[in-house]
Amino acid sequence: MRTPGVVDVAAPLRAVEQWCCEPDGNSVRLTARVGVHGDDPNLRGHFPGLPIFPGIFVIESLCQAMAQAFGRDGGQPPVLRNLRSVRFLAPLLDGDELTLRITVTPATGGWSTKSEGTRLDGTVAARIRADFIAGQAADA
Amino acid sequence: MREHCDVRTVLPQRFPLLLVDRVLELEPGRRISTVKAVTGTDACFAELPEGAEGWRYSYPYSLIIESFGQSAALLWLDGRLPTPEDDQVLMFVGATNFCFDGTAHPGDVLRHEVRMDSVIADTAFASGEIWVGDRRLATVATLVATRRPVRPAPTGQPA
Amino acid sequence: MNQEEQQLEDLRAMVAEVLEVEPEELSDTGDFMEDYEADSLRAIEILARIDKMYKVEIPQAELPELRNLKAVHAALIRHSVRD
């Protein structure tokens, strides 16, 4: 697993602590891990007295993992175009760890992704299908 | 319920994840219009390196989604204040075709237009759009939230 | 294709989208939970979409019986006639 460098785009948190990828035929299997830390400034507000990893941070992990794997050096990372479907199935609490397994397939102008996020105990916490486009085309 | 101080009494989120500034319009049970200003001093921009290009200041899509979701929560709650007996929390459980047309940057004001489509079995289905001025930023086919019982916080008070 | 058959096909397309399968993969009697890995949230979402698309409200109490496309179509017809 590799450790990302500093987060160099606007982000609510560092949502990928380790990642790795390997080709799988036409696709790429991308894996990202991030721990749930109760003392993260975000979790103090979500919620006071009950830290819960926000579902949107699983989406943020997906975006940051895509940036690590497919971002161009010094250039724009892939941009989320359509969150086709996302389901949050189980909460991630303080001390847990999210493992996001992403299958990335090339698509016109970008990539199509299908992800499953699991907790330390193996429970599926989230399923996401999302389409990304290459960075430069974002504001077209 | 209109101003940020009112939003704060209804939603349990706090800094830096309370992402609705003001309610513009509210048709109880039907639709809500809210705003969230994107400012350079938002926490998400704090770590950007010196000389970072403009595109690095794109407001994270995860936070735009959360801001829309909280607007839907306000619509579902209809501005009702939580009571000490409240043992339930609203949870974002899913979305379908949340599609982005562009990006938002410091100085932009996100305007969420949210419609409540139906509420079944303690599960709310909403849809809508997000605008910056007259530029449409995103369309949301479905956003799903449910009410779940929550265990009390360590202090013994509901979250 | 008569009106009822067309309605079934429209329903197939909508339910397939909720279950995230291709319409061709969704059979009339395939069980949503057992054959298509649906959870209770998907079942509720089907009800919500029917409400939105057809303006027909199927009571929550009937949720447990809505196990496949055929049952959903029958419920839609049943409650359309009443309304």
For residue B66, pLDDT beyond 70 = yes
Q: Calculate what percentage of chain B has a pLDDT beyond 70.
A: 87
Nearest CA-CA partner of A54 in B93, B85, B123, B40: B93
Go through chain A and tell me how many residues it has.
Answer: 140
List residues of chain C with CB under 8 Å from any CB of chain A. 20, 39, 41
DSSP code per residue over A29-40: EEEEEEE--TTS
Mutation for testing the B interface, residue in C15, C51, C57 having most B CBs under 10 Å:
C51
Q: Which of the residue ranges A48-52, A119-123, B106-110, B131-135 would you say has the lowest mean pLDDT?
A: A48-52
* Euclidean distance between CA atoms B121 and C18, whole angstroms: 17
Confidence (pLDDT) at A138:
46
- Chain B residue numbers touching C60 (CB-CB < 8 A): 120-121
- B residues 30..89 contacting A (CB < 8 A): 42-45, 47-49, 52, 55-63, 65-66, 69, 89
> Do A5 and A20 contact (CB within 8 A), yes or no?
no
- Chain C residue numbers touching B120 (CB-CB < 8 A): 44, 47-48, 51, 60
Q: Calculate what percentage of chain A has a pLDDT beyond 90.
A: 84
CA quadruple C51, C54, C55, C57: dihedral, nearest 10: -50
Distance from CA of B27 to the nearest CA of A (A): 27
Cβ–Cβ of B63/A82 closer than 8 Å? no
- Active-site residues of A, by number, are 46
Supply the pTM of this predicted model: 0.90
Q: What are the angstrom distances between the C-alpha of B83 and each of B14, B86, C36?
A: 18, 5, 40
Q: How many CB pairs under 8 A join B and C?
A: 27
Q: What is the mean pLDDT of chain B?
A: 89
> Do C66 and C42 contact (CB within 8 A), yes or no?
no
Characterise C7 by phi-psi region: left (phi > 0), alpha (psi -120 to 50), beta (else): alpha
Q: What are the angstrom distances between the C-alpha of C27 and each of B153, C3, C15, C33, C40?
A: 46, 19, 11, 13, 19
Please work out, in degrees rounded to the nearest 5, the angle formed at the alpha carbon of residue B151 by the alpha carbons of A116 and B70.
Answer: 60
* Euclidean distance between CA atoms A32 and B79, whole angstroms: 38
Tens digits of per-residue pLDDT, B26-60? 999 999 999 999 999 999 999 999 999 999 999 99
Residue A45 is nearest to which of B13, B59, B60, comparing CB atoms? B13
Confidence (pLDDT) at B62:
98
Considering only residues C61 and B40, tell me which one the structure prediction assigns the higher pLDDT: B40
For residue B156, pLDDT beyond 50 = no
Tens digits of per-residue pLDDT, A34-85? 999 999 999 999 988 889 999 999 999 999 999 999 987 778 999 999 999 9
For residue B141, pLDDT beyond 80 = yes
What would the two tokens of residue B118 be?
């139906």
Q: Listing from the earlier edge strand, what are the strands of the sheet with B22-27?
A: A18-24, A27-35, A97-107, A110-118, A124-133, A79-88, B88-100, B135-149, B123-132, B109-120, B31-37, B22-27
The answer to whether A90 faces chain C, any CB pair under 8 Å, is no
Confidence (pLDDT) at A5:
81
Mutation for testing the A interface, residue in B17, B64, B88, B140 having most A CBs under 10 Å:
B17
Cβ–Cβ of B56/A50 closer than 8 Å? no
Mean pLDDT of A5-23: 93
Cβ–Cβ of C63/B121 closer than 8 Å? yes
